[in-house]
């Protein structure tokens, strides 16, 4: 028979557990920045790898990781796919490609800003490539950066329709008053990427079954998160970001509980593995948190691909002496992978003697030339006020 003291003690334990649960719900587990040491990251990969030994078990785990990302990012259920109401204007023709300025409503009144690079003189239907960007600031930061323009123009000259778009609080989003510290940044950026695929697939000359994505640093985070949650992405090239010990230093990468809950732990190497069996290239360098990729993250991810019998679909190009960023050499690593898997036409761009892709036809534009809105094309009155909470 239970005595009253025991019942009281049990009630206290129950209360403590309940309280702990409430506390955890109130304070989600965030894995931010260098959340792990490199050694702890290797141990974590070992624990995760021990949870599956065949394709069926991996698929079960992958579904749970995908669901955790979406729930952590507050994208369950998905918002309604409301009309994009795209504005596409100011076409500029260059050698082998054109650029237009684009805005669309990712959510009612919440605008995505970008540039659309199209091939000239190549027959369609065209594959499409999304180009998110990282956190480099300055007057020509984000999608306005020269390295971003080289990448987009060169892919377009090889036959891709390329969409390059602002993170919240960068480029034209910043110009119109939005702050990158917006609390919903991770939610809004991920949803904007999903809607950017909708936008590209809405074009009659785009082959909606050939969709690539590539970005570096914070744009690398957007690349592997989008690939993880949207199976319309068919080729993924995250650059200098896939790391088992570094989770991204910005709240738009790791400020919501996508990596760890009481039920499941994961990290960005495993999130990148959710791309399997779709073609994926990891570009890494010795000078940042991707320094261990050839011996830590890549083997873990390749093992997942091996469960599909598709090891050949994943690759790693590593530059031990190089630093963070999406500079010329990293772009030269990405181009052939996109050419191969998106069936681009490198004629006139690839030089067989040097084995390099020519970027010299890119015209680097000034920010104001790339903007969507100006005095004669005023900012829509229906747009949300900057830094509003956005209804999801
Ligand atoms: Zn950020």
- CA 251 – ligand 1 centroid, Å: 6
Q: Measuring CA to CA, how many Å separate 287 from each of 23, 137, 290, 318, 331?
A: 39, 20, 8, 11, 17
- CA 350 – ligand 1 centroid, Å: 34
CB 158 within 8 A of CB 119: yes
- CA 329 – ligand 1 centroid, Å: 25
Q: Which of 215, 212, 236, 209 is nearest to 316 (CA)?
A: 236
Q: Return phi, psi of residue 94, to 5°.
A: -125, -170
- CA 213 – ligand 1 centroid, Å: 18
DSSP three-state, residue 206: strand
Q: Which of 322, 289, 326 is nearest to 141 (CA)?
A: 326
- CA 97 – ligand 1 centroid, Å: 30
- CA 261 – ligand 1 centroid, Å: 22
Q: Please list the pLDDT of the chain residue by residue as tens digits (392 residues).
A: 344 444 444 444 444 444 444 444 558 899 999 999 999 999 999 999 999 999 999 999 999 999 999 999 999 999 999 999 999 999 999 999 999 999 999 999 999 999 999 999 999 999 999 999 999 987 678 999 999 999 999 999 999 999 999 999 999 999 999 999 999 999 999 999 999 999 999 999 999 999 999 999 999 999 999 999 999 999 999 999 999 999 999 999 999 999 999 999 999 999 999 999 999 999 999 999 999 999 999 999 999 999 999 999 999 999 999 999 999 999 999 999 999 999 999 999 999 999 999 999 999 999 999 999 998 899 999 999 999 999 99
- CA 122 – ligand 1 centroid, Å: 36
- CA 189 – ligand 1 centroid, Å: 9
- CA 170 – ligand 1 centroid, Å: 10
- CA 320 – ligand 1 centroid, Å: 26
Q: Is 387 exposed, middle or buried (0-12, 13-18, 19+ CB in 10 A)?
A: middle
Q: Is the pTM of this model over 0.85?
A: yes
- CA 253 – ligand 1 centroid, Å: 6
Q: Measuring CA to CA, how many Å separate 225 from each of 134, 274, 389?
A: 14, 9, 22
| Structural domains of the chain, ranges and CATH numbers in brackets | 87-370 (3.40.50.1820)
- CA 276 – ligand 1 centroid, Å: 26
- CA 106 – ligand 1 centroid, Å: 18
- DSSP per-residue string spanning 216-278: ETHHHHHHHHHHHH-TT--EEEEES---SS---SSHHHHSSSSSB-SS-B--HHHHHHTTTTS
Sequence-ordered list of residues with C-beta below 8 angstroms from that of 128, at least 6 positions apart, any chain: 160, 161, 162, 163, 197, 200, 201, 203, 206, 207, 208, 210, 211, 212
Q: What is the largest CA-CA distance in the chain?
A: 88
Q: Return phi, psi of residue 18, to 5°.
A: -60, -45
- CA 277 – ligand 1 centroid, Å: 28
Q: Measuring CA to CA, how many Å separate 335 from each of 218, 320, 344?
A: 20, 20, 9
- CA 192 – ligand 1 centroid, Å: 14
- CA 193 – ligand 1 centroid, Å: 14
- CA 250 – ligand 1 centroid, Å: 5
- CA 380 – ligand 1 centroid, Å: 25
- CA 254 – ligand 1 centroid, Å: 9
- CA 142 – ligand 1 centroid, Å: 11
Euclidean distance between CA atoms 75 and 194, whole angstroms: 11
- CA 197 – ligand 1 centroid, Å: 21
- CA 336 – ligand 1 centroid, Å: 29
Q: Is 345 exposed, middle or buried (0-12, 13-18, 19+ CB in 10 A)?
A: middle
- CA 281 – ligand 1 centroid, Å: 23
- CA 124 – ligand 1 centroid, Å: 35
Q: Detail the DSSP E strand segments found in 120-189.
A: 126-131, 161-165
Q: Measuring CA to CA, how many Å separate 176 from each of 26, 115, 121?
A: 33, 16, 35
């Amino acid at each position: 028979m239970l005595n009253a003291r025991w019942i009281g003690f049990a009630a206290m334990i129950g209360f403590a557990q309940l309280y702990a649960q409430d506390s955890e719900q109130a304070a989600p587990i965030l894995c931010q920045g260098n959340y792990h040491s490199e050694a702890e990251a290797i141990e974590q990969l070992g624990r995760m790898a021990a949870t599956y030994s065949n394709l069926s078990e991996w698929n079960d785990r992958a579904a749970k990781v995908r669901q955790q990302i979406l729930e952590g990012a507050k994208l369950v259920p998905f918002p309604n796919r409301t009309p994009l109401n795209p504005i596409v204007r100011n076409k500029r023709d260059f050698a082998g490609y054109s650029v237009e300025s684009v805005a669309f409503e990712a959510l009612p009144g919440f605008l995505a800003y970008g540039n659309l690079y199209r091939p000239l003189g190549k027959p369609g239907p065209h594959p499409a490539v999304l180009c998110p960007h990282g956190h480099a600031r300055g007057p020509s930061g984000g999608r306005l950066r020269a390295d971003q323009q080289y990448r987009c123009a060169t892919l377009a000259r090889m036959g891709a329709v390329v969409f390059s778009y602002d993170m919240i609080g960068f480029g034209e989003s910043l110009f119109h008053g939005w702050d990158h510290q917006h609390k919903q940044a991770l939610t809004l950026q991920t949803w904007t990427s999903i809607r950017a695929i909708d936008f590209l697939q809405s074009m009659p000359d785009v082959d909606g079954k050939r969709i690539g994505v590539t970005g570096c640093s914070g744009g690398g985070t957007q690349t592997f998160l989008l690939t993880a949650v949207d199976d319309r992405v068919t080729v993924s090239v995250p650059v200098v970001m896939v790391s088992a010990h570094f989770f991204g230093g910005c709240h738009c990468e790791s400020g919501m509980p996508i990596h760890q809950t009481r039920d499941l732990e994961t990290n960005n190497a495993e999130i990148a593995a959710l791309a399997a069996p779709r073609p994926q290239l990891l570009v890494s360098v010795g000078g940042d948190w991707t320094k261990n990729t050839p011996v830590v993250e890549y083997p873990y991810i390749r093992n997942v691909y091996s469960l599909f019998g598709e090891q050949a679909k994943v690759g790693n190009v590593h530059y031990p002496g190089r630093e963070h960023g999406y500079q010329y050499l990293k772009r030269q690593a990405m181009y052939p992978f996109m050419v191969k898997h998106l069936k681009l036409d490198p004629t006139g761009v690839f030089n067989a003697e040097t084995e390099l892709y020519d970027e010299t036809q890119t015209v680097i534009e000034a920010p104001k030339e790339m903007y969507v809105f100006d005095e004669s094309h005023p900012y829509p009155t229906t747009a949300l006020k900057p830094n509003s909470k956005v209804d999801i």
